[in-house]
Chains A and B, each alone.
Chain A
Amino acid sequence: MTPLAPTAAPHAWLARQSRWSWFEVVFWLATLLPFFLFPTYLTLASQVAIAALFAISVDLILGYAGIVTLGHALFFGLGAYTVGLLSARLGWGEPISGLLLAGAVAGLVGFVASYLIVRVQHLALIMVTLGLGFLAYELANAMTWLTGGTDGLRGVSMWQIVGTFRFDLWGYTAYTYSLIVLFLGFLVSRTIVNSSFGLALRGIRENVTRMPAIGSDHSWHLRKIYTISAALAGVAGGLLTQTTNTVGLDVLSFQRSADVVVMLILGGTGRLYGAILGAIIFLVARDQLAGVNPQYWYFWIGLLLMVVVLFMPKGILGFLAKLTGRRD
């Protein structure tokens, strides 16, 4: 890899960035391993894929555009409730259209919220995202007639995917479906971050006052990426509803917003694979540790988080990249 330097042909540089490396091919082939090696862990694998998609959506704004958020569960929950309400109240359980609608609803709300988001920075930004998250949670709690409140939404049932594949007890369908959606979401995100738009975002992250000086409309860029991120989070939420047939208030909870940031910090921000790695580590560690001791497993997550933050400030993936001598 050549060091980052002004180049005569920016398009050629971008094209080089978006070339697939052997590491990526191996990684995606490895995502098929659970089918053969751990067929009894497929439901967990499916929830890892969903968490990874959610983490990617947060990485787009947090890792690339520098928007620190503690309320992204708002969009995850919107997607989850869109799919849930569509099925429970209107009787429409077709998965693919449901997923698209979940993304559209979350994206629309994300677009409206983005006008607020671009006005604030730093601590105020965290507070605004946090506040939006709490508002959505309380709203869903208060609208019990619609959302089922703390009891959760009842009567969600999904049709077969393209009329053929039923969501089975072992999770074969759920994992295949989640993995395909994750891969598509990843492709979209990868294309974005390796485009000139993606570069503009990194510019905003590094120096927000300088971007207008070189003629870049930074607030429009931020609004755009926030909307895209919200839509992706909505798709992830919709996916969770479809693969579990349940929606509860927890999809909107602060815990979910915080967990996804923890995943990103563990894996490494600003690199899409960090989001996926973080989701794998968080959920697998949680499953295994909780199996050993159901009461105090959070202790180990806390310890892991501290070790990573202290010794691997760029996350586990950043640490590995440094070991192998690859530049960021």
Chain B
Amino acid sequence: MKTKMMFATILAAGLSWSVHAGAQETVKIGVILPYSGPFADAANQLQAGIDLYIAKHGSEVAGKTIELVKKDTGGPAPDVAQRLAQELVVRDGVDIIAGFALTPEALGAAPIATEAQKLMVVMNAATSIVVEQSDYIVRTGVTIPQLNTAFGQWAFESGVKEAYTLVADYGPGHDAEKAFAAGFTEAGGTIVGADRTPVANPDFSAFVQRVRDANPEAVYIFVPGGAQPAAIGKALSDRGLAPPDTKIFAQGELTHPEALESMGDTAKGIITTYHYSLERDDPLNNEFREAYREANGGRSPDLFSIGGYDGMHLIYEALKKTEGDTSGDALIEAAKGMAWDSPRGPMSIDPETRDVVQTVYIREVQEVDGELQNVIIHEIPDVKDPLHGTQ
């Protein structure tokens, strides 16, 4: 008797819920980002990318209205991200979870995506393993191995036989060091030395002196964005380490526009690898860049912005494909193998790994019309993350 009652109650509750679900005209997207704390700037750039896409394409798709529910994690906090994902699903009733600027937060929320069977769009978190944590995860940002393994190979092919690596001593830095070294040594190059700099101590002179003493053909650098690119750029030129005598390789953060401004002429000749080039002359990119600057008081888009923008594109296109069906299974099927032209260039979602496949740009800092710019000198199309299936 008691069990029957309970069964009936559950059934009734389920029915009323599904009636409610059928009547709904909105698609709720929960966005989990570190809006406050040390990564607030990244979160705001990513959010601006999301907002720009919605402003441009309207908030209606497949007959439904898109509604964002924003949640702040306050920094790298996997436990908070996990709770927020859980609450978004059970309390706010979201259909899709998105955002995720930081790897630990994506890892924290992944089990919720699996359990609740919701599409989870990782718009930045750049460690290879993220997409392997749940069958409902798809990534629209970039992975560090994707950029740097290809870069290492290209570096050897461009004629450099020996390189020194100098990376920030934290997760992304370690990944970058490993990926660049893998690409470079597999192609035949030799790593003559490897050093790690403290993440929070931007006094590079001692490290740069060690590079100077080793006198390598090239040095590969990875530092977090912010104040460090300018500081290391100055330390390098102070010690006479500058192109063309010593080649300087890095991931794109080193020469983003604000950093170039503070580095000045010492930046000339630095070669970087990136998936998004602000100045790339392409109608889509030009339109994106101008609209973004207009909406954000002149601020230029960066990798976070493009990750958020393309993440929204993926959600819109997937919803169109499923004709508004928001079940995780339908959406993830729709996302697999999707290909489109983004402001960053052609990109697609690998149907096997659900990870991003895109063009890697090799750029050199040159003076164009009296202004320092990252000029694309080589393009490597359709690069996949090299680590999937190897770990």
A residues with a Cβ closer than 8 A to B are 40-41, 43-44, 47, 141-142, 144, 149-152, 154, 169-171, 240, 244-251, 253, 255, 290-291, 294-298
Contacts and interface: CB of A to CB of B under 8 A. Distances in A.
Given A169-B115, A170-B90, A295-B35, A150 B171 contact: yes
A249 B83 CA distance: 17
B108 interface: yes
Contacts of A253: 75
Nearest to A286: B74
Contact of A248 (B108, B127, B133, B169): B108
Contact of B71 (A43, A240, A294): A294
The main secondary structure of chain A at its interface with chain B is: helix
Contact of B112 (A41, A169, A296): A169
A246 B75 contact: no
Nearest to B198: A138
Top 9 nearest A-B pairs by Cβ distance?
Answer: A150-B171, A294-B72, A40-B91, A294-B35, A152-B104, A246-B78, A248-B78, A246-B108, A244-B79
Q: Is the interface of B mostly helix, strand, loop or mixed?
A: helix
B129 interface: yes
Contacts of B89: 169
B40 A250 contact: no
B103 interface: yes
B324 interface: no
Given A43-B86, A154-B133, A246-B79, 10 more contacts: A40-B91, A150-B172, A151-B103, A171-B86, A240-B79, A244-B78, A247-B78, A250-B75, A290-B35, A294-B71
B320 interface: no
Nearest to A157: B111
A47 B84 CA distance: 11
Contacts of A151: 103-104, 107, 127, 129, 171
Contact of B70 (A141, A169, A247, A294): A294
Nearest to B81: A246
A150 B171 CA distance: 5
| Residue of B71, B91, B103, B133 contacting most chain A CB atoms (<10 Å) | B91
B82 A245 contact: yes
Contacts of B66: none
B132 to A, nearest CB: 10
23 contacts: A44-B87, A47-B79, A151-B104, A151-B129, A169-B86, A171-B86, A244-B83, A245-B82, A245-B111, A246-B78, A248-B76, A248-B78, A249-B104, A250-B75, A251-B79, A290-B36, A290-B72, A290-B74, A294-B36, A294-B71, A294-B72, A295-B35, A298-B36
A127 B358 CA distance: 49
B104 A144 contact: no
B36 A40 contact: no
A94 B344 CA distance: 48
Contacts of B90: 40, 43, 169-171
Contact of A295 (B44, B79, B115): B44
